[in-house]
Structure 1
Amino acid sequence: MREIRFYKVDEPYGYFSNFSPFPIFIDDERWNTVEHYFQASKFNDREIKKKIQLIVSPMEAAIEGRNKKNILREDWELIKDDIMYKALKCKFLQHPNLMHKLFSTQDCLIIEHTRNDNYWGDGGDGMGKNKLGIALMKVRDELLKLVNDKLAVLPPWIAFPTISQYDLFWRMGLGEEYLTQWSKYFLAANKGEYRKKYPETKEWEGIYD
């Protein structure tokens, strides 16, 4: 099986890094990167979470998240893998171009290659657990089940399930960009098949008309 190794944002496959500059909308809040959300999720203290959320740099967010003065939630070790998966799934759902790149690795083993991390990475010598790579492959497999076309753009109610179609979110930034990509794809797609596979929710009733 072909291996794909990644680590730094400015290197090949850098978009797989949690530091890559792709915002996510999750739990009704916007986060600058997956790293921001992951680090903030370590804590129950709202002030610490908000502090991390407002930090611009993912590296600085990571540093604050590792600050031993901040008290970790007691169940962190039990839930951290699920938190990572949840954030990664949002990242690739909400950025169609990234989802397509992930699909292009379908038959490949994805590895975070670094000696700096034996849990999320491979430890540099292949002896690490590579939990981040495993999570990315799990997201890939789950999203592939949702599409017939590997270049598909999923409906907004799947990518952003908590946001009403009337929300101002769709008129700016990430939301506006997503709607533009989705509309372009839908207009070129087989509309009957698409509507059958992705029936509109009650909240989005009438969007196909």
Structure 2
Amino acid sequence: MDRPEDHKLRRSGRCPHCNAKLESKILASTRNLLEQFERSPNMTVSFFFNGHKGDTKDNGVKNPTGELRPTWMFSNFAQIPVSVQNPHNGVVLPFASAEAAFQAGKYLSRQDIISDLQVAYKGGECRKIARRFKSSNVSGWIKHGLNVKWMRVVTYCKFLQCENLRSILMQTGERRLVEDSPFDSFWGIGKDRKGTNMLGVILMEIRAQFLQDACTNALGEVHPETSAVIQGSAVRKGFVAAYTDFKKTRVKCLTGELQ
């Protein structure tokens, strides 16, 4: 049975054994994906939460529309540790996945809920926890776009804190990234494939900034926990703008300035 300290190490990304397995899985999936690109240079890169495991048999296989099957590491449900700084009190919060960090954005002043999310490893668990405390959601989460603003912050942190993950994102080049969910027409493209694909849009926005900095050799060392120390010009500006935008909007919602 796992000890409590083992859970803390895993979710904070400080477990050497887990990190080694994760890096190996990312590199294997990267090789698989690059082989697909060689065969089909202009293919859309699609991902979906039920393909979050790197060893899934669907990984890298074409679906009936000719797009790539879900690419597990781009999914929020991928169990890739991410740490975000809580704008409510400045505390750095480690999570086992981007989904857990995203759901925590609704309850940044509730340490009890955050603690539950910090020990949740599966995306489904995170959503269940969030639904259980739905009445405690921060005001304006959807109405004033806090959901999109926080997703952008979490996604920045996820890719800034893992070099191999950042590398494969950049290697997708200018290909379209699609959250291929038949159940979600906002974060994904929905059943009719005409959805907003907001998660894919955010990924492509951040990718463009990484590529811009890579071209100018501007992307420097990244702080392993907070992502606060970023030398890259485009990425630094993008991350700071996203974090500040969320923080200011959240305050306005909490104070009633935004109804």
Question: What's 1:144 paired with?
Answer: 211
Paired positions, count: 163
2:52 is equivalent to residue 9 of structure 1:
yes
In structure 2, distance between residues paired with 1:39 and 1:75: 14
Question: What's 1:119 paired with?
Answer: 186
In structure 2, distance between residues paired with 1:57 and 1:153: 32
The match for 1:75 among 130, 140, 144 is 140
Structure 2 gap ranges (5+): 1-41, 54-58, 61-70, 86-91, 232-259
In structure 2, distance between residues paired with 1:51 and 1:159: 20
Alpha-carbon RMSD across the aligned residues, in angstroms, is 2.5
DSSP-derived class of the 1:136 partner: helix
Stretch moving more, 54-63 or 136-145? 54-63
2:150 is equivalent to residue 86 of structure 1:
no
TM-score normalized by the length of structure 1? 0.69
Which letter maps to 1:41? G
TM-score normalized by the length of structure 2? 0.57
Does the Cα contact within 8 Å between 2:84 and 2:157 map onto a contact in 1? yes
Q: CA 1:161–1:131 in 2, change beyond 3 Å: closer, same or farther?
A: closer
DSSP-derived class of the 1:30 partner: strand
Q: CA 1:97–1:107 in 2, change beyond 3 Å: closer, same or farther?
A: same
Does the Cα contact within 8 Å between 1:96 and 1:153 map onto a contact in 2? no
Q: CA 1:39–1:131 in 2, change beyond 3 Å: closer, same or farther?
A: same
How far off its partner does 1:139 sit? 1.1
How far off its partner does 1:121 sit? 0.6
2:76 is equivalent to residue 18 of structure 1:
yes
Does the Cα contact within 8 Å between 1:115 and 1:125 map onto a contact in 2? yes
Question: What's 2:94 paired with?
Answer: 30
Does the Cα contact within 8 Å between 2:83 and 2:225 map onto a contact in 1? no
Which letter maps to 1:87? V
Which letter maps to 1:35? E
In structure 2, distance between residues paired with 1:118 and 1:67: 23
How far off its partner does 1:148 sit? 3.2
For residues 103-125 of structure 1, give each alpha carbon's deviation from its aligned partner in whole angstroms, at most 9, with x where no partner exists.
11111011011211111010032
Question: What's 2:245 paired with?
Answer: none
For residues 23-54 of structure 1, give each alpha carbon's deviation from its aligned partner in whole angstroms, at most 9, with x where no partner exists.
11210121111000101111242211222122
Q: CA 1:144–1:133 in 2, change beyond 3 Å: closer, same or farther?
A: same
Structure 1 gap ranges (5+): 164-193, 195-209
The aligned runs of 1:125-204 (5 Å cut-off) are 125-148=192-215, 154-157=220-223, 160-162=226-228
The match for 2:106 among 42, 62, 73 is 42
2:108 is equivalent to residue 65 of structure 1:
no
